[in-house]
Amino acid sequence: MASSISLLSPSLRLHLTNTTLLAPFPYYHRSKCEMSRRSFALKGIVASGVSSMASTLTAEAQPSQGVGRLPYKPEGYNYWTWRGHKIHYVVQGEGSPIVLIHGFGASAFHWRYNIPELAKRHKVYALDLLGFGWSDKALIEYDAMVWRDQVVDFVKEIVKEPSVLVGNSLGGFTALVSAAALQELVSGVVLLNSAGQFGDGNKQSESSKETPLAKFVLKPLKEAFQRVVLGFLFWQAKQPARIVSVLKSVYVNSSNVDDYLVESITRPAADPNAGEVYYRLMTRFMTNQSKYTLDAVLSELSCPLLLIWGDLDPWVGPAKANRIKEFYPKTTLVNLQAGHCPHDEIPELVNKALLDWLSTLYPEEASLQTV
């Protein structure tokens, strides 16, 4: 068994050696004195690997009270063709535009409690990143820059005016790199428990020259074994009980872990390409992202930045938010008692924090709304 495990890449090796059988998502780094880290890959397993089986939630979960909710549509809302791929998005409201970007394995429906409320004052867009949600499960080489290019083109071709980019988790890092590329077409950026790490993106890892044995024998063998391991994890994550368990582990208040949320995660996984997309994300995208660092991206940013942070997140604690604020002077930080997805767990507080901050960017609109 030990010789077989050695065929795995270091990150995937943790799938077998860790008691949770999960590899850590590369954007997340917690100190030893903090809460023990849960793997971000778990969300990927759940969101990308689940099937469209019926959920097993009890009737005890109640939706957020007093907050409008985006109607769930199995067929989706609107579609845009980007580089030959179908991209799903939602648009509601009028006013200065906001673009919402979901996290790893989620979709535009994860903003269900935010879109209707924000749309009362702004034109709100929420799109599904390529490979996730109702967008195509394209069989490409995934990289953070693919989603950056997608968001950049979405703003230029669909929104067509300066916007505020809002992102959760992986969507947060995508919002940052997109804002750095768009510059004058971005009025501000909002991060909710964002992915991304500080570090030296120019540091090159030392590697010995690949021998013929490694290239033609060991490498194909390693890839085949990784497919077996990831295929098992993919299958394992199809169990509805696992889906609910993972969601509840990152929602401090799990009352919003309901049928709507589970269905919005499981339905996209029925796509025939979902398994291959998951494999590519885990073996290629997830293992080569250290060159994209927060300090490098923040150094290219010039617009105001708002951090809305769930301090009880088991994956990304408040230390990262504090470091971002120290590094980037134009930052406003709002700390909330919530987990990894505060926008869905406590949408009332997130909506208020976001709208209050937006009113400082668009004082003219705010004054008209109070008349």
Give the Å distances, CA to CA, from 77 to 91, 109, 354: 8, 10, 24
The domain locations on the chain are 78-199+289-366
At 77 the pLDDT is 98
Q: Does residue 3 register a pLDDT over 70?
A: no
- What would the pLDDT profile of 101-126 be if each residue is shown by its tens digit? 999 989 999 999 999 999 999 999 99
- Helix/strand/coil (H, E, C) string of 185-203? HEEEEEEECCCCCCCCCCC
The per-residue pLDDT of the chain, averaged, comes to 80
pLDDT in tens, 269-278: 889 998 899 8
| d(C-alpha 328, C-alpha 311), whole Å | 19
Model confidence over 60-70: pLDDT tens digits? 334 566 789 99
Q: Which helix (H) or strand (E) holds 301?
A: none
Model confidence pLDDT, tens digit, residues 225-263: 677 776 667 666 656 777 788 899 999 999 999 999 999
| Structure token digits, residue 42 | 């778990």
CATH number of this structure's domain 78-199+289-366, picked from the four choices 2.40.30.30, 3.40.50.2300, 1.10.3720.10, 3.40.50.1820:
3.40.50.1820
CA trace torsion 131, 137, 143, 148 (10° rounding): -50
Q: pLDDT value at position 219?
A: 54
Q: What is the pTM of this model?
A: 0.81
